[in-house]
Amino acid sequence: MSELAEKTATMLDMLPAAEQQLAYELMKRLVFAWDPDFTKLTAVEAEAVQKAEDEIARGETVSDDAIDWDA
């Protein structure tokens, strides 16, 4: 979790329960407006995808056919 996300969570916890729900709904609306289908990647997710793509390009992965799935 990023430092900003941790700070946000800490501040959210400081609010009374009713206000926490209001803040959550506001954040949810912002996220839905930015990415209604939840298809955009976070910076951490994008880095993981890039790392995996690099490993595939270098041949550092194992194909599904090479795995004995019944073992």
**What is the model's pTM?**
0.52
pLDDT at 11: 95
pLDDT at 6: 94
For 21-65, the pLDDT digits (tens) are 999 999 999 989 988 888 888 889 999 999 999 999 999 988 888
pLDDT at 26: 95
| CB neighbour list of residue 15: distance below 8 Å, 6 or more residues apart | 23
pLDDT at 62: 87
End-to-end CA distance of the chain: 36
